[in-house]
Chain A
Amino acid sequence: MDYSWDFGPVFEHFDMLALGMLNTVKIAVVSIVLGVLVGLVLAMMRLSTRKWLTIPALVFIEFYRNTPPIVHFFWFFYALPVMLAISLDPYFAAVLALSTQSGAFYAEVFRGGIVSIERGQWEGGRALGMTHSALMRRVIVPQAISRMVPPFIERSFELLKTTALASTLAYADLLYQAMLVNAETFRPLEVYTTIALMYLVLLVTASQLARLAEARLTAYQ
């Protein structure tokens, strides 16, 4: 192979890629925050003893677990606006897709953490005269959180990678910006190698941060 690498044209457009990376981080962070909220609500519904709460949550969760992520992006971008007779910009559609998807998975992470706490912990607290809510707040949730951290982080990494699908809605994320740069430079090898490395740096950095957080949240174990 006598291809001669030339990153020059790519670096000339590095500002575009940097903007893309910023947008990727932005949409990921916003979607994680909203996804946590969705996940908390769904998890509480799933943990409830009332069927009219558990069943809708279960349907929601199973729907997301058993459909391809890109379909959710298309649905929110192309289908939802028809239904509501509004128009959604790519950013909002992508955030909706990402946060509902991750919410469905976070819900299982949260619920799994809660139900993993041994019966004895409930009994120890109840025997002291603690109310259900005090017990949750003081005993169950603090312990559950440290068990939720590893699967939560794993799920969030999944989300970070899934943000690339937002490019299909013309949201200016890292991948989309790369496509623009490529169209101008005709240097696919250099462009896509560069953004692969940028994704790598992003994820490795995030995983270092996550490891710090994990160490703090699971200290007593």
Chain B
Amino acid sequence: MTGKPILEIKGLHKRFGDHHVLKGIDFTVEPGERIAIIGGSGSGKSTFLRCMNFMETLSEGEIWLDGTRIGVEKKGTVTYPEKQLCQVRERLGMVFQQFNLFPHMSVLDNVMEGLVTVKGMSKAEARKTAEAELAKVGLSEKHDAWPGLLSGGQQQRVAIARALSMQPEILLFDEPTSSLDPELVGEVLRVIKQLAEEGRTMLLVTHELGFAYHFATKVIFLAEGVFHEVGTPDEVLKHPKQARTQDFLRRFGEFAF
């Protein structure tokens, strides 16, 4: 793909104490890219996504958004003012494995929350936007429900609507279907597919390799804290060059038929 990157990561390291999880990652996201990130459990996939919107502090490295470096450098040390991080997070929507909906708010209020509290929209306007987003994920009927009473698939679709309501430039999905019963995975993947068709820029951490194959414009295999293999879905998922990628995919395909 050509075009100016929306997001650029340079030399990202992340350590938790002595545990060196990400070991120098350089990475760019261009408009319209759909990047699937795969890798073993504990390989740092979530940590990588979470560094992008500063849910984790970076141990080293720089993140640039639209050509602007995030953070304020003063006398050699970089600080991250809360206001700036909030703006970054507003621009990078995130969807979690565990949905993280607000259980004390109705479905509609969940989707309105960011619009009212962060964007400062009027309630009436926020309601209209939220209703449209909920319609898009097929949950118009559930406005007044408590999230806790919905199925996992419905909750995740509300979470997607909540993220979409903020009009993010990039969507980050962290294993959005991993905590769902198998029969509910489809309804969430269909919504993500629909977003792909709209040409949205997305990063998806997933173990649904079949979906990743059709969904992604680029696949990254994360291992040992680095991008072990990067390429098109065909290159990485069908014809992996690295032994470690081959091994990972073989273990994943073990029970396929």
CA–CA, A130 to B86, complex, Å?
6
* A146 nearest CB neighbor, chain B only: B104
Interface 1/0 per residue, B189-221 and A, CB below 8 Å: 000000000000000000000000000000000
Question: Which of B88, B89, B117 interacts with A134 by CB under 8 Å?
Answer: B117
A120 touches B98 (CB 8 A): yes
Q: Is the interface of A mostly helix, strand, loop or mixed?
A: helix
Instruction: Collect the chain B residues with CB atoms within 8 Å of residue A130's CB.
Output: 86, 114, 117-118
Q: Is A161 an interface residue (CB 8 A)?
A: no
* B102 nearest CB neighbor, chain A only: A139
Q: Is B33 an interface residue (CB 8 A)?
A: no
Question: Which of A127, A132, A142 interacts with B82 by CB under 8 Å?
Answer: A132
Number of A-B contacts (CB under 8 A): 69
Report, as a range, how many residues of chain A touch the other chain. 20 to 34
Question: Which of B83, B100, B118, B146 interacts with A124 by CB under 8 Å?
Answer: B100
A128 touches B55 (CB 8 A): no
A120-B98, A143-B104 are contacts. A128–B166 as well, Cβ < 8 Å? yes
**Residues of B153-207 whose CB lies within 8 A of A:** 159, 162-163, 166
- Sorted nearest first, the 3 A-B pairs with minimum C-beta distance are A124-B100, A129-B90, A128-B114
The chain A residues found within 8 Å of chain B, CB to CB, are: 120-121, 123-132, 134, 138-139, 142-143, 146, 220-221
26 residue pairs bridging A and B, Cβ less than 8 Å apart: A124-B96, A124-B100, A124-B102, A125-B102, A126-B55, A126-B89, A127-B53, A127-B55, A127-B94, A127-B96, A127-B100, A128-B89, A128-B163, A128-B166, A129-B87, A129-B89, A129-B114, A129-B166, A130-B117, A130-B118, A131-B82, A139-B102, A139-B113, A142-B104, A143-B103, A221-B103
